[in-house]
Amino acid sequence: MFKKILIANRGEIACRVIATARKMGIATVAVYSEADKEARHVRLADEAVLLGPAPSRESYLVADKIIEAAKQTGAEAIHPGYGFLSENEAFAERCEKEGIAFIGPKAHSIAAMGDKIASKKLASEAQVNTIPGYNDPIPSAEHAVEIAKGIGYPVMIKASAGGGGKGLRVAFNDKEALEGFTACQNEARNSFGDDRIFIEKFVEQPRHIEIQILGDSHGNVLYLNERECSIQRRHQKVIEEAPSPFISDATRKAMGEQAVALAKAVKYQSAGTVEFVVGKDQDFYFLEMNTRLQVEHPVTECITGLDLVEQMIRVAAGEKLDFTQADVKRDGWAMECRINAEDPFRNFLPSTGRLVRFTPPTETMWQADTAHKQGVRVDTGVFEGGEIPMHYDSMIAKLIVHGKDRNDAIAKMREALNGFVIRGINSNIPFQAALLAHPDFVSGNFNTGFIAQHYAMGFRAEDVPHDDPDFLVALAAFVRRKSRERATGISGQLPGYGVKVGKDYVVVSLDAAGQHKYTAVHVDEFVGETGYASVQVGEKRYKISSPSRLNDIVISGEVNGQPFTAQMERGSAKNPLALVVQHNGTKLETMVVSPRMAELHQLMPFKAPPDMSKYVLSPMPGLLVDVAVQVGQKVQAGERVAVIEAMKMENVLFAAADGIVSKVLASKGESLVVDQPIVEFEK
């Protein structure tokens, strides 16, 4: 067994590998860019080596620097994680030549299966069902349009070296095919250094189901059940689960055996994933093979009880798999939510900056520990006070739960999301909460078009309907009443001027447009009990008990005998008197006041925000890579104005209305902040 390994990656996956290495008694070496010098994976590793500047092409993608770091520290093996160089055939081959074990498949397997064009050809030769398409690199956008018309729309345009949603577009007409080809080629060139593109038929209403396989150097290959990955937004997975609520045992077995046969054809060693697109009648087609560890591997670890990182390390060290196909378990139900640094209410634009608060829910399962089940696990590479840089992927954590069945897993996940505190940046937690509550998700009736179908106009606050909005009002009143009770105990109050608790309040639900809602409530204490109160809201009564302290952001307890977890904060950016309640993805900004104060509040004039319609504003922090207009230019609605790059994705800004450019306020190469004006139009 290795004594020391280097992890050629960053973020949560680097921390994940370190956890297993530590369990196995293996020393670890982290590598990092200048942007990551204070990162969590650097702190956790036994040693750390600086690779270079922040951009990945100057640090994490430079094979020479990583090989040199391994030699310099005496690391006998390199674990590539996922992304970066994990599926780079030349890097795996270089490791072998340098006498460093590559904790992943052999270079010939990566060459055969990691390349999406080559793997599709190989699958066809092995008589595996494949989707109709054009499997050779396409030289130009015009050629791509002709091929797309020949196959028949819709088509999927994919970068050969793509992954993680990068370099992938679906086109429904010639215009989309032309634009999609160019965008895919640019993204692939920037992210992977390989701009080869191919096209295949897009199967409508498909499910994305993948089979986890594991092979060793002794010819053994097993499949470790499937993962359901159909909940995707722009081809980026959002929620993954194992097993799938859709496929039958017969389909699972057939897919598993086909995945194993394909892996054996290339003498596959290590963990890998064979992805299938599955039709409504459970007919399945080979999509691609990922010759690396997947982001969503924890859900497989939960239901099988296997540590996949440990298995990869043991295989790379030449060990034989110590279990058979018959030993592979399928225990309970696991789900994973990807927690991303993005603003779901602003079209999921990246959100970078400092994590002012980062408090995940209490963990009862841990990385590299397969003994503890039926609980909550958090895989992350960040920490409170750390910086989320713009140069890398937007995922900051993975929230994993394991339940006895699917409904139990959903319930655990909703409670865990309620208790996940992130401040300083925006996250997609409200969106995850909405997905988990959607009736079609709960019933298992979904496909890869689920998010596009149900959130076609984007995600808005009203897309998170709370099943009992009066509970949020009652909880705000409960917390306000408890704070008033505490205030009565403060010493030194002047006689006749002491704090009075009161039982009648009005909860003002604040609205950004000034349409505030006023709800009268009545609060009674439970006699002789602290942390208890009964709140009357209209015809409803809420008996709330909570041991949480008044300064806790996460409030947990029981309401009418049922457990709950919510978040409560005093003060907001606009109102220091506000109480902000968050529960099940819904956020309510309130003020809890006396009836007289509520009367006066209703008389206050509303101050409308300034009109910014004549500006094109930066919707996120990022790098301004292009300004497509000049002063005096006439611009039509929908015309391209600027391009901003953040977290490896290009975001194009378009004009909202016709107009003439009066000023260009930012220049190419400038780092922008949220809502910074870029272009001003004449009014």
**Is the pLDDT confidence value at 657 over 90?**
no
Average pLDDT, the chain: 92
Q: Is the pLDDT of residue 638 over 90?
A: no
**More confident site: 636 or 214:** 214
Q: What mean pLDDT do residues 239-247 have?
A: 97
Domain 4-103: give its CATH code: 3.40.50.20
- Dist. CA 190–CA 56, nearest whole Å: 10
- The reported pTM is 0.84
Q: What is the mean pLDDT of residues 225-252?
A: 96
* Average pLDDT value for residue range 125-140: 82
What pLDDT is recorded for position 310? 98
> In the 8-state DSSP scheme, what is residue 571?
-
Confidence tier at 16 by pLDDT (50, 70, 90): very high
pLDDT, residue 619, reads: 84
Bigger pLDDT: 542 vs 649:
542
Is 296 labeled as catalytic in the residue annotation? no
Using left for φ > 0, alpha for ψ between -120 and 50, and beta otherwise, residue 317 falls in alpha
Angle of helix 116-125 relative to helix 249-265, nearest 10 degrees, comes to 110
Residue 529: pLDDT band by 50, 70, 90 thresholds?
low
Of 518, 567, 521, the C-alpha closest to 546 is 567
pLDDT digits (tens, 9 = 90+) for 532-560: 899 999 999 999 999 998 889 999 999 99
Query: Could you state, in order of their start, the residue ranges of all structural domains in the chain?
Result: 4-103, 132-201, 207-463, 469-490+500-602, 615-681
Query: Could you give the CA distance from residue 186 to residue 419 in angstroms, rounded to a whole number?
Result: 39
Q: Which long-range contacts (CB under 8 A, 24 or more apart) does 679-682 make?
A: 679/615, 679/616, 679/627, 679/629, 679/641, 679/642, 680/614, 680/615, 680/616, 681/614, 681/615, 681/616, 681/635, 681/655, 681/657, 682/614
Any idea which architecture 469-490+500-602 has in CATH? 2-Layer Sandwich (3.30)
pLDDT-based confidence at residue 648 (cuts at 50, 70, 90): low
Tens-place pLDDT, residues 279-318: 888 989 898 899 999 999 999 999 999 999 999 999 999 9
pLDDT, tens digit (0-9, with 9 covering 90-100), for 454-491: 998 889 887 878 889 999 999 999 999 888 888 888 88
Distance in angstroms (rounded) separating the CA atoms of residues 626 and 636? 18
The predicted model gives 356-369 an average pLDDT of 95
CATH of domain 207-463: 3.30.470.20
Q: Percent helix, strand, coil in the chain (nearest 5)?
A: 30, 30, 40
Position 296 scores a pLDDT of 97
Q: What is the pLDDT of residue 575?
A: 86
Q: Name the active-site residue from 87, 200, 275, 288.
A: 288
The correct answer on CATH 2.40.50.100 for the domain covering 615-681 is yes
Using DSSP's 3-state secondary structure scheme, residue 181 falls into helix
Percent of the chain's residues with pLDDT above 70: 99
Torsion of CA 83, 89, 90, 94, to 10 degrees: 100
Query: Measured between alpha carbons, how far is 340 from 148 in angstroms, rounded to an integer?
Result: 33
Is the per-residue pLDDT at 125 higher than 90?
Answer: no
Hey, CA dihedral for 646, 652, 658, 662, is it positive or negative?
positive
Is residue 527's pLDDT more than 60? no
Mean pLDDT confidence for 173-178? 94
Q: What percentage of the chain carries pLDDT values higher than 90?
A: 70
As a whole number, mean pLDDT of residues 384-393 equals 88
Question: In residues, how long is the chain?
Answer: 683
C-alpha–C-alpha distance, residues 40 and 30, integer Å: 10
Is it the case that residue 526 has pLDDT exceeding 80?
no
Average pLDDT rounded to a whole number, residues 511-521: 92
**Segment 401-413 mean pLDDT:** 98
Per-residue pLDDT reduced to its tens digit, 97-116: 999 999 999 999 999 987 77
Cα angle, residue 95 at apex, residues 90 and 97 outer, rounded to 5°: 90
For residue 55, how many C-alpha atoms fall within 13 Å in the half-sphere facing its CB?
A: 7
Question: Is 125 or 255 the better-scoring residue by pLDDT?
Answer: 255
Give the pLDDT of residue 441.
97
Mean of pLDDT values over 513-529? 83
Alpha carbon distances (Å) from 489 to 493, 494, 579: 9, 13, 22
The CATH code that applies to domain 132-201 is 3.30.1490.20
Lowest mean pLDDT among 323-327, 377-381, 571-575, 586-590: 571-575
How many CB atoms neighbour CB 496 within 10 A?
Answer: 5
- Asked if residues 521 and 544 have their Cβ atoms less than 8 Å apart, the reply is no
Q: How confident is the model at residue 655 (pLDDT cuts 50, 70, 90)?
A: confident
Higher pLDDT, 529 or 329: 329
Which residues, listed in sequence order, are joined to residue 521 by a DSSP beta bridge?
A: 505, 537
